[in-house]
């Protein structure tokens, strides 16, 4: 879906994707380099860094999604497809398809955009070093603002403005299906065996957490663990909890803001 949208709808209508894919498109337009190859070259260092910092399972999913995306670009570039409508309508339609494709990838823990990997790493590093929990929104906005400014000066104004519309539509679709993936996620875990989970959070996730006594009407005494993570870290959390094999109960909610008093 993402590759079809970019190759068959957005590019023929003078719009580009956002994130590292947007950078790759700009490079391809300026140099004449094959688009799928440009995507590979730009995305590769982000995938390597993401794999090192976020684990093997994330790397496998990210590489699988990226290869499928690049293969799709190569296939759809060779297909003659024309959407006979106004640029504005075509870009909205293309942005919605792009957002739908990216939503599916994100929901299953994958990623085909380096800007999201970069934002996640910055947020995780701030949390690890400074104890600051923040969303990825601001980082992604700055990154994509730079991409669109580059498109404005290096390609043309119309392309930059149409691409901004793509970003707005695509992210609206993604937010609808992933519950705002760029926001902070609060993970609440209710368990009778907290020590193993807390040690894993501290050593593997490099996170801190809050532990409280709690009691269930049926299960009796429990411990409630609360931790704040990014969307990509949440996928790692889910996989870990599934592998515990006990009656651990977990809920996830989206947090708009965390305030600290000093």
Q: Show me where the domains of the chain are located.
A: 2-178, 184-255
- What separation, in Å, do the N-terminal and C-terminal C-alpha atoms of the chain show? 47
C-alpha to C-alpha distance for 173 and 187, rounded to whole angstroms: 24
Catalogue the E-assigned strands of 2-151: none
Beta bridge partners of 226: 188, 210
Q: Per-residue pLDDT tens, the chain, 262 aa: give them.
A: 999 999 999 999 889 899 999 999 999 999 999 999 999 999 999 988 888 877 788 888 889 999 999 999 999 988 888 777 788 899 999 999 999 999 999 888 888 888 988 988 888 888 777 777 778 888 999 999 999 999 999 988 888 999 999 999 999 999 888 888 888 899 999 988 889 999 999 988 888 899 999 988 887 889 999 999 888 888 888 888 887 767 788 899 998 877 776 6
Q: Please list, in sequence order, all residues whose beta carbon lies within 8 angstroms of the beta carbon of residue 111, skipping any fewer than 6 positions away.
A: 50, 58, 61, 62, 65, 66, 105, 117, 232
pLDDT of residue 206: 83
pLDDT of residue 237: 84
User: Under CATH, what is the fold of the domain 184-255?
Assistant: Alpha-Beta Plaits (3.30.70)
What pLDDT score was predicted for residue 225?
94
């Amino acid at each position: 879906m993402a590759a079809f949208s970019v190759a068959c709808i957005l590019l023929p209508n003078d719009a580009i994707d956002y994130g590292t894919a947007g950078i790759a498109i700009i490079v391809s337009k300026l140099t004449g380099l094959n688009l799928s190859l440009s995507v590979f070259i730009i995305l590769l260092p982000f995938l390597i860094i993401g794999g090192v910092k976020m684990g093997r399972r994330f790397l496998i999913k990210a590489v699988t999604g990226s290869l499928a995306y690049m293969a799709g670009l190569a296939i759809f570039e060779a297909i003659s497809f024309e959407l006979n409508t106004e640029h504005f309508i075509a870009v909205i339609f293309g942005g919605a398809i792009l957002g739908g494709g990216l939503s599916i990838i994100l929901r299953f823990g994958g990623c085909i955009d380096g800007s999201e990997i970069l934002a996640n790493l910055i947020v995780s590093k701030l949390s690890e070093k400074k104890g600051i929990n923040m969303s990825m929104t601001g980082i992604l906005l700055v990154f994509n603002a730079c991409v669109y400014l580059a498109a404005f000066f290096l390609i043309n104004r119309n392309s930059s403005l149409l691409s901004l519309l793509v970003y707005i539509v695509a992210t609206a679709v993604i937010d609808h299906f992933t519950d705002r993936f760029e926001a902070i996620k609060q993970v609440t875990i209710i368990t009778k065996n907290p020590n193993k989970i807390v040690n894993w959070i501290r050593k593997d996730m490099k996170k801190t957490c809050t532990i409280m006594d709690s009691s269930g009407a049926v299960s009796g005494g429990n411990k409630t663990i609360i931790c704040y993570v990014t969307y990509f870290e949440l996928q790692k959390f889910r996989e870990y909890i599934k592998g515990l094999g006990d009656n651990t109960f977990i809920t996830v909610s989206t947090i708009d803001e965390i305030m600290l008093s000093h």
